[in-house]
Structure 1
Amino acid sequence: MTKASDLFVAALEAHGTEYVFGIPGEENLDLLESLRRSSIRLVLTRHEQAAGFMAATYGRLTGRAGVCLSTLGPGATNLVTAAAYAQLGAMPMLMVTGQKPIRSSRQGHFQIVDVVDMMRPLTKYTRQIVSADSIPARVREAFRRAEQERPGAVHLELPQDVAGDETAAVPIPASFSRRPVAEDKAVAQAAEAIARARHPLLMIGAGANRKTTSRMLRGFVDKLGIPFFSTQMGKGVVDETHPLWLGNAALSDHDFVHRAIDAADCILNVGHDVIEKPPFFMRKGRRTVIHVNYGGAAVDAVYFPQIEVVGDIANSVWQLAEALAPQPHWDFAFFDRVRAALLADMRSRAGDDRFPMTAPRLVADVARAMAPEDIVCLDNGLYKLWFARDYRCRGPNTLLLDNALATMGAGLPSAIAARIVHPDRRVLAVAGDGGFMMNSQELETAVRLGLDLTVLVLRDDAYGMIKWKQSHEDYPNFGMDLGNPDFVKYAESYGARGHRPRSAGELLPMLRRALDTPGVDLIDLPIDYRDDDRLLNEDIPRLSAAVQ
């Protein structure tokens, strides 16, 4: 016979679990002891929300469900934002929460909320484990749901009395499966539409951000010579220094890439996820849009593709590449001009010496400091638009940003997880002062774990993006300004090193030293968003219109 908590942990091990991120409570003590004797490493965090962000990022980077742990009641409710983060962002994650004994009660309803029902709208699967014998099936199904396309969050509740039961059950190993491939006639119809077009264009979305799909898309672009752009969560799927890259749909409208989109008469839309803002607005009769994804298109007022290729994305892209050849009537001259104009605009902003720094100069300096395989993890703020637009990724998942839930507070926890998954790569967390302070306590976690990590805090002493929008829409400044600690001393109080540049020219050498020095470094960088209104709403529309 086996103790139920031991069986639960053995089931986690059978599905390849390496880490459990979280904060246990008294209802988890059996499970905690089982973890202590297992091969799984417990990463103790300072807040359950941060543990969820770490588990989701582990899932995002590996394709395997990251696991996080909390107790009942307030510990479980603290996972809600992380559940939404993983679910909307298509990151496989398993949340395990404790619960009071379900066969008897000595404390009434103290700390009890219906966590299973709470998690239902935020997850793909949520269950309370009511018997030890059901553990293998519940854990197997939870991992299957979390990892199958479209990935997301799942939840299991393990009550205290069930965890202590005895059982003869054994883990159910993960099974081998392959996704179905697209139907031949759909591929042929899509190939015919692309071949017939005069100005075809490739769009790469979040669903294409998989290793095999990345290879197939690179082969597709190289063989056919069709220019491409991406959504924010599709960045780096194909190397953005490629001569056919046209940019990223970071801005809502008016940027250079939108001129190319307007000129396209056929858009091959690979991996579009409706969670992201639509990168273009469809108009009837203007162009053919081909939907290539694991599932059919979710049609709405701005997205109603004429052709759908449904099946494994990598295989669909390969089939399309096999069915097509470059066509003599394809005309990409305008797309070439768009790319040249975009790169010229990026270069013109990269040397701005003003201090506090501007976001385009910040992005340029970070790009100079990071190697192609290094990872930048963004929190959420106005700077995210500039990183999405101007930071040219050389590979998938080298710029981790959230354009789904777009929550603040995830930047530092996601960087900690990225460093754990990739100890051979340098990792930089970038957060505004507002987002950083939402989970800044995880600096202690990074220091305790002995991680080499650099944190760049962009300080404008305000909730900068909303303040910028408030100003742009002619509202008076109200409710956005805040106070901050001395971030240098704050970092030092955790055992990290703190730095503060005094000019724009000091950032790059300071950043390089921090990235190359073992341990945790924090850089307090004053930033100024006041010029972004002119850049985003006057300069870029005017310059991109001139491409025509």
Structure 2
Amino acid sequence: MKASDLFVKALEQEGVEYIFGIPGEENLDLLESLRTSSIKLILTRHEQAAGFMAATYGRLTGKVGVCMSTLGPGATNFVTAAAYAQLGAMPMLMITGQKPIKASKQGRFQVLDVVDMMRPITKYTAQIVSGERIASQVREAFRIASAERPGAVHLELPEDIADEETSPNLITESYVRRPTAEPKAIKHAVDMIELAKSPLLLIGAGANRKMSSNMLTELVDDFGIPFVTTQMGKGVVDETKELFLGNTTLSDGDFVHRAIEHADLIINVGHDVVEKPPFFMRNNDKKVIHINYNAAEVDPVYFPQVEVVGDIANSIWAIKEQLQTQKHWDFSYFDKVKKAEEKELPHGCDDDRFPIYPQRLVSDVRKAMPDDGIIALDNGVYKIWFARNYKARKPNTVLLDNALATMGAGLPSAMASKLVYPDRPVVAICGDGGFMMNSQELETAVRLNQHLIILILRDDAYGMIKWKQANMNFDNFGLDYGNPDYVKYVEAYGGKGHRIEAADQLLPLLKKCMQEHAVHLIDIPIDYSENDEILNNQLRLLSAKV
């Protein structure tokens, strides 16, 4: 069997549905093998976007997303996407081509040591040096990518290896069960929760995988323990529940931080060190239970007293089976925080000012989206408002990146979401800066005949940095730019363009776009100038009330 055919058959055996990317001369054997396979090639306009799409596929499905590039510049364009998947714990395989390794006739033209380049930003990287190694290396790459903690892996398939004849051997996936927590650790955790006066559940990024949602929901419902989430833990448990106290979006001082400060025990589920810590431990003033697939990474501000290491869903089930509701539990302060939050967070949701007020934007998007609708956020100051004010009802319906926090991922992530869930509404929410970093993928979305809505929040500047520049008392310099006519821009690709000129136009337009199959782009002027005033007013009110 031709080695490239064996490679594709190994991918098919792993259940690969799509390969995202841009082939080059060194991939032509692999491309021909894909042509007659069950795998669909999603041709993108930039390798970075292909990587973002593969990573998002992995995030949503738990299966390894696959992307492909040629050698040299194609492979280097994967670097940001590799870091995005690696820091965000998204299972992804990158396949890159290479010049012949047995007898090169072109010197070092376009030749980089891609394997070594990928080493610091992947879980596994290797060059395939023989067709006989294909089956085992593909299986190993998929195993490592999907094992906890998931991440990026890389295989380089040189041109001459892809073309050689090899034995038609395949290696099937082995049956694996994730380890469960040791019973004594479960007992220690149960004892700590029962002894606590005001326990609080904190749900992080790691809980947004492997179907932990059901068990955590049952824990909250059965025992009435209030919960908060990190940005990448949004939606694991329905955030419209009365016991939801907020999202740890701001660094400190918010409603949710008052609840965390008051709790005498934090049940920290799925903690991931890539996210900003929502609390600091000092002098053992706070008890912490660490529940995760892996042991805690201890540092000066995080040193949990009990670690429950094993499958998260199984650990929560085991705790739930032994836990007894305690009469001395006191959640009255948390109730006070909740009431203050519910009174203040809606401020501005009906504000008619234009350019649109951030809270009005978030409120209208939430009203338009069904419970299972997906919003895919790029990176910018608006992410604060969506993380803080948009209540997610289901896991992975708010796709934001609080790990690498790269710009340019919003549109590709939305496109991948639409491939995985074609019947669910998907909205990409992008700043004008982030959108233009991968705006060429509008053509890909139109070519795929996707029903997609893209909101461009236009302030004609790198708004997040401009905001921080002002906060640090620097002069306004170097962050303003011009923009194209976005309506004409999307129409040039074959999509439909819209522009709002008043705040009350957004919600009806969103509803209309959801009914009409097309790639829709909505140009929304936005004003971030009152970010500080909005936050400071709310935090002052919070200090007076809680």
Which TM-score band (shorter chain)? over 0.9
Secondary structure of the residue aligned to 2:142 is: helix
Q: Report the CA distance between 1:211 and its aligned residue.
A: 4.8
SS in 2 for 1:348: coil
Residue matched to 1:330:
329
Q: Specify the SS of the correspondent of 2:345.
A: helix
Q: Which residue is 2:166 aligned to?
A: 167
Shift of 1:540: 2.6
**Equivalence for 1:535:** 534
Partners in 2 of 1:379 and 1:301 — Cα distance? 32
| Aligned residues of 2:411 and 2:428 also touching (Cα < 8 A) | yes
- Kindly state the Cα deviation for residue 346 of structure 1 after the two structures are TM-superposed: 2.0
Name whichever of 322-331 and 167-176 sits farther off: 167-176
Q: Which residue of 2 aligns with 1:380?
A: 379
Percent of residue pairs identical: 66
Cα distance in 1 for residues equivalent to 2:4 and 2:219: 48
Q: Give 1:405 deviation, angstroms.
A: 0.1
Partner residue, 1:257: 256
Distance in 2 (CA, whole Å) between partners of 1:508 and 1:5 is 50
Contact 1:119 1:155 in 2 (8 A): yes
| C-alpha distance in 2 between matches for 1:144 and 1:544 | 48
Instruction: Mark the runs of 5 or more structure 2 residues left unpaired by the alignment.
Output: none
Alignment RMSD (CA, Å): 0.8
AA matched with 1:92: P
CA distance in 2, matches of 1:505, 1:289: 46
1:504 corresponds in structure 2 to 503
The 5 A counterparts of 1:29-108 are 29-108=28-107
Which of 537, 542, 545 is the aligned partner of 1:544?
Answer: 542
Q: CA deviation at 1:364?
A: 0.5
Give the Cα separation in 1 of the matches to 2:521 and 2:125. Answer: 38
> How many Å apart are 1:169 and its aligned residue?
3.4
Q: Which residue of 2 aligns with 1:359?
A: 358
- Contact 1:254/1:540 (8 A) holds in 2: no
2:339 is aligned to 340
Q: Partner residue of 1:297? A: 296
CA deviations 1:343-369 (Å, max 9, x no partner) are 211222211111001211110010000
SS in 2 for 1:347: coil
Maintained 8 Å contact 1:375/1:427: yes
Deviations 1:284-304 (A, max 9, x none): 232101100111111112211
Structure 1 equivalent of residue 214 of structure 2: 215
Distance 2:45 2:433 in 1: 18
Alignment length (residue pairs): 546
What is the DSSP-based 3-state SS (H/G/I as helix, E as strand, rest coil) of the residue aligned with 2:154? strand
Give, in angstroms, the shift of residue 119 of structure 1. Answer: 0.2
Structure 1: 5+ residue stretches without partners: none
Alignment-mate amino acid for residue 44 of structure 2? T
Amino acid at match of 1:545: S
- Equivalent residues of 1:443, 1:491 under 8 A apart: yes
Shift of 1:242: 1.1
- For residues 20 and 544 of structure 1, the distance between their equivalents in structure 2, rounded to whole angstroms, comes to 49
Shift of 1:340: 1.6
Q: Please give the alpha-carbon distance, in whole angstroms, between the structure 2 residues aligned to 1:210 and 1:79.
A: 24
Which has the larger displacement, 85-94 or 527-536? 527-536
Structure 2 length normalisation: TM-score? 0.99
Letter aligned with residue 541 of structure 1: L
State how far apart, in whole Å, the 2-side matches of 1:175 and 1:305 are: 34
1:383-415 superposed Cα distances (whole Å, 9 cap, x missing partner): 001100111011000000000000000000000
Say whether residues 1:271 and 2:309 are aligned partners: no
Contact 2:210 2:313 in 1 (8 A): no
Q: Matched residues in 1 for 2:541 and 2:103: separation?
A: 70
1:482 match? 481
CA distance in 2, matches of 1:220, 1:38: 45
Bigger Cα displacement from structure 2, 441-450 vs 167-176: 167-176
Structure 1 residue matching 2:443: 3-state secondary structure? helix
Q: For residues 52-101 of structure 1, give each alpha carbon's deviation from its aligned partner in whole angstroms, at most 9, with x where no partner exists.
A: 00000000000000000000000000000000000000000000000000
Any idea what the Cα deviations from partners look like across 1:466-511, whole Å, max 9, x if unmatched?
0000011111001100110011110111011100001000111111
Distance between the aligned counterparts of 2:428 and 2:257, measured in 1?
29
Deviation at 1:272, TM superposition (A): 0.3
Per-residue displacement from partner, 1:412-443 (whole Å, max 9, x unpaired)? 00000000000010100000000000000000
Q: In the aligned structure 2, how far is the partner of 1:320 from the partner of 1:370?
A: 35
| 1:453 matched residue in structure 2 | 452
